[in-house]
Every structure is written in C-alpha cells, then in structure tokens.
Structure 1
C-alpha cells in the first residue's frame, strides 16, 4: 500500500480552468469512482491552497500495488483529467512529496484494502 500527499503548482492564470476541472470531477463522480478500481486506488482526494498569490493543488492518495496508471486508462473521464493536467499544472515545478510521519488506518479498514 502506498500513501502519498503531493503538492503541484498551478500555472499562472489557470485558476478558472482548475475550477472547471474540479467541477468536472465532482459532477462526474460516478464515472471517476469507476476509474479508481483499475488504479487500485482506495482513496484519492484533491485539496487546493493559495500561498503568496500562487495556487497549488495537493493530491492525497492511498493506493494498492499493481494498479493501472492514469496515463494508460481508457476511461473518458481520465482522458479529460489528463487534458486539464497538461493545461493547468506547471511542468517546471517539481512535485513536492510530503513525508508520511504516521499512518492511522485501523486493521479492519487496512485488511479490506488488500
């Protein structure tokens, strides 16, 4: 099981496109959830933050081993997701992985993630 929290910088002027992207995901949640099985993604949450006038998106995920990469997905919602990614995420800003210090997942939940 892999637990991650990663920060990505949004390109300047792309806040409206990010809002559209998040609306697309929220408005199509049943289709989004179908993609998670292929990815062996147990939890995926996106957070946003603005620091010193710069927008960031944070991805928190708990993922099993051997899942399909989103880039290899045949789901239309994933294709739209990748389109927004290319439009909105700054490729010159290396993703910032935050360090996991403690993971508190009860055994009854953890065992269902296998």
Structure 2
C-alpha cells in the first residue's frame, strides 16, 4: 500500500467555492466512491487548515499505487472527476501545491 499527502494553498476569498466543492462531493458520494474504486484508493481524506493567515486544503490518500490514482483520475471517467479538477484549478493559488514527504503510515492491521 502506498500513501501521499499535500497542501493546496487557497486563493483569498475562495471559501465559498471550497464549501460548494465539499457539498457537491458529499451529495454525490456514490459517484465519488466509484472513482475511488477505479483508482484502487483505500482512503481519501480532506481537511481545511489555516497557517499564518493563509488557508489551505490538506489531502491524504492511501492506495495500491499513487501513480495509478492520478493516471486514472485524469481520464475523467466520472463527471465528479472533472468537477473536482476544474474547481481545484479555480481555488488553488499559483504555485500553491505542496507535496508532503511521506514518513510513516500505520495501518491497523499489518501483514
């Protein structure tokens, strides 16, 4: 299992769009779950974070292959994928994506 995380710095004033994105994903969970199935994602989580007055989205993925997650999601098979990427492009600050360096991921059951 692989894992990845990162921060997306938000453009000022994008809070309403973030809420629209959250509400849309929440109202279309079956479609979002189908996307995760296609991508072989075990967990995808999102959080709002504020650091020194700047607002960010923090994301976390655990999947069989992180490379596969991005390859499959970029095929835009599900309309929710297009919605997600278009909205992220609107709200992300220029050069605002920061990947975290993976250190450790502790599953409940180890093999």
TM-score between both structures, scaled by the size of structure 1: 0.83
- The number of residues matched between the two structures is 108
Q: CA deviation at 1:102?
A: 4.5
Q: Which residue pairs with 1:106 in the alignment?
A: 109
Q: Which has the higher strand share?
A: 2
2:98 and 2:43 mapped to 1: Cα distance? 19
Report matched runs for 1:5-84 at 5 Å. 5-65=5-65, 66-67=68-69, 68-84=71-87
1:25 and 1:94 mapped to 2: Cα distance? 21
Distance 1:61 1:102, change over 3 A: closer
1:64 and 1:25 mapped to 2: Cα distance? 23
| Superposition RMSD in Å | 1.8
1:73 and 1:28 mapped to 2: Cα distance? 15
Secondary structure at 1:36 match in 2 = helix
1:60 and 1:86 mapped to 2: Cα distance? 18
1:89 and 2:95 are equivalent in the alignment: no
1:92 and 1:5 mapped to 2: Cα distance? 16
